[in-house]
A and B are shown apart, each in its own frame.
Chain A
Amino acid sequence: MNILIKNGTLANDNQTDLYIENGIIVKMGQNLDFTCDVLIDAKNKLVAPGLVDMHCHLRDPGQEYKEDIVTGTKSAVMGGFTSVACMPNTTPVADNKIVISYIVNKAKEKAYANVYPIGAISKGLCGQQLAEMGDMKEAGAVAVSDDGKPVENANFMKNALLYANGFGLPVISHCEDMSLKNDGSMNEGYTSTYMGLRGISRASEEVMVSRECILAETYNVPVHIAHVSTKGSVEIVRQAKKRGVKVTCETCPHYFTLTEEMVEGFNTNAKMNPPLRTKEDVEAIVEGLKDGTIDAIATDHAPHAIDEKNCEFDMALNGIVGLETAFGLSYTYLVKTGILSTAELIEKLSTNPSRILKINKGELKEGAVADISVFDLDNQYTVKTEEFMSKSKNSPYDGFELYGKADTVIVKGKIVVEKGELK
């Protein structure tokens, strides 16, 4: 199928047409004239490389009542993501080539977006024994992480970083010192005191961010820090980068759009890990995005069934769905406000995560696979969680007014979203 996208605006504000043939971007330039099967008018719209989410939970295999590879990738493309990297805390854990192959094969057959599995660092996410990283890489894993369960033993983490680096696999670290977590269910601060909830200290995150930076520096290996949420973490990474440490990091839209007050009224859709922090932290996250300390914006898309959220606050599971709101939130809160340029935003949401995961996406150029997202930036829309393609609706953003909606999404030359509707 041949597709011609006319009059689009690139992230760098240049006007261009794109001609796609057999899933490949064949030609880019102004006033292209090709006969085509489909003509897309992208006038006044942003034409961007398909977004890459380097951190999501597709819950498949094992927890398909929350999400599966099909619904998760439908949710992804509706949000403009053409590639997603899914975390290994499935049931069974993706700590071996069989589970990785299952994900790769099911995705190949049924997914709406490209799916890149992330394997576990340790067998069973237990932090005791290294998972078979070489095997998993051969089967299609693009990185390793024990996301959701921090690697507690520093020596084990050192070995994981060294071993994974030998295979060129990025290590994504969920930083949380469990001894400092204090059984907490929200940020430790005034709101936790006011609500009588146990607080999770920022130190719990920062102690381990420091450890990872020190290990990466000492052994000269790369490390990627997942979901940075505190001012202190941003500063630790900033200083480490200045010293030349091979550290990269991501944050999530909720860490630059929401604060701990969102939990008031025991709102379980504002319960996540790391927890929502304070205004001071939000400002630091924004600053980190601006000065490049924070490389990427990931969703940490964490679907949960209604009963897992409509319950006692301490029992509610952590996390929110994010694939269908990430771009709108990022565009509205970072670009509309003048903090980032559109080009910088696309780097955080596509180019950089692609580079960190080494998956050769995140760029619009002739010869590249046609993963393209066209966004309407001008029309405000209201987030309606009940309309999400995700099986789960656990989001604190219901009713938010945002800019930046995926209008057309093309994955490997196939149109999967057309005029904002799933095809």
Chain B
Amino acid sequence: MFHGQKDLIGIKQLSRQQIEEILDVAKTMKYIINQPTKRTVYLQGKSIVTLFCENSTRTKLSFESAVKYMGGMAGSLSTSTSSTQKGESLLDTVKTINQMGTNCVIIRHSMSGTPEFIGKNVDACIINAGDGMNEHPTQALLDMFTIMEEKGKIEGLKVAIVGDIYHSRVARSDIYALTKLGAKVKISAPATLLPPYIEKLGVDVCETVDDAIKDADVVMALRIQNERQKNGLFPSTDEYSKFFGLNDERIKLAKPDAILMHPGPVNRGVELTPELADSERAVVLEQVTNGVAVRMAVLNCFLGGTYEHTN
């Protein structure tokens, strides 16, 4: 339980205070990751299962590393191996996992709302590792952590989010987190990749990418999935990269010390030029390390880990 909440469903459900506490705990966790010996006992005796019903490399490995560094016991199940293939419902699968004494199930699923649905039906703590187009809360937390590290604050920063907002759970979670922490968010995307009424989430919708990036402290690029093109949402990746992709010229509109973020995996040459992806301002790899730290913090907070945080 973390301030009365059993599950981490989304940033939507977190208060600013909860977000800040997780980010604070994550500082210690990052220190641990950077030690030659990473083993702690904060989650000793806790059993954690990752249940991934959608492809993932970094998020799954990141969570599993987090569990190991904290001395917890990790199990893993993915749809190809679980019995959902035999016609068992997901709820029955999770109830089965729950019944084995599991303290926490980390779920990724292609359908929005699945972690919330499962959380209402089992005792174990449910952590959302990305659900459909809804939320990816640990990604947003690691993004906030990265911004804090680089900029020392979030309040008042100008943040641009560029790319496929419509299908992106990362964009939604980042928008909720950034607005809760007081950043000014501008977004830009082809009109077919903007969800309706997105401005009601407290962001400015810009007509061009240039408008969004201008004077930004942080620029976040989102992954463009090729199937979007096949579905007729934009004409070609060439045209996309010309009008919406980030390159050395375009990034000059941002503040000189602006950082560039991307949740990965990067489509080089589409949303980012290869030069930009490897540039000084890109913090893409730092985001990966921070992902482990933040997930350790999340597990400690929600599972009653023994690391005691003091302000």
Contacts and interface: CB of A to CB of B under 8 A. Distances in A.
Nearest to B168: A196
A311 B89 contact: yes
Interface in A272-330: 307, 310-315
Nearest to B131: A196
A310 B12 CA distance: 23
B91 interface: yes
Contacts of A196: 112-113, 131-135, 169, 172
B194 to A, nearest CB: 9
Contacts of A193: 195-198, 200-201
A190 B196 contact: yes
Interface size class of B (residues with CB under 8 A): 20 to 34
A315 to B, nearest CB: 7
A375 B12 CA distance: 45
Contacts of B197: 189-190, 193
A312 B169 contact: no
Contacts of B200: 190, 193-194
B116 interface: yes
Given A196-B131, A196-B169, A312 B195 contact: no
Contacts of B132: 196-197, 314
A195 interface: yes
Interface residues of A, number: 20
A315 B117 CA distance: 12
A188 B195 CA distance: 9
Nearest to B169: A196
Contacts of A188: 196
A311 B90 contact: yes
A336 interface: no
Contacts of A163: none
Nearest to A266: B113
Nearest to B195: A193
Contact of A266 (B89, B112, B133): B112
Interface of B: 12, 89-91, 109, 111-114, 116-117, 121, 131-135, 169, 172, 195-198, 200-201
Given A193-B195, A193-B198, A266-B116, 20 more contacts: A188-B196, A193-B197, A193-B201, A194-B200, A195-B113, A195-B134, A197-B112, A197-B113, A197-B132, A265-B116, A307-B89, A310-B121, A311-B89, A311-B117, A312-B90, A312-B109, A312-B113, A312-B114, A312-B117, A314-B112
Closest 3 CB pairs of A and B: A196-B134, A266-B113, A196-B133
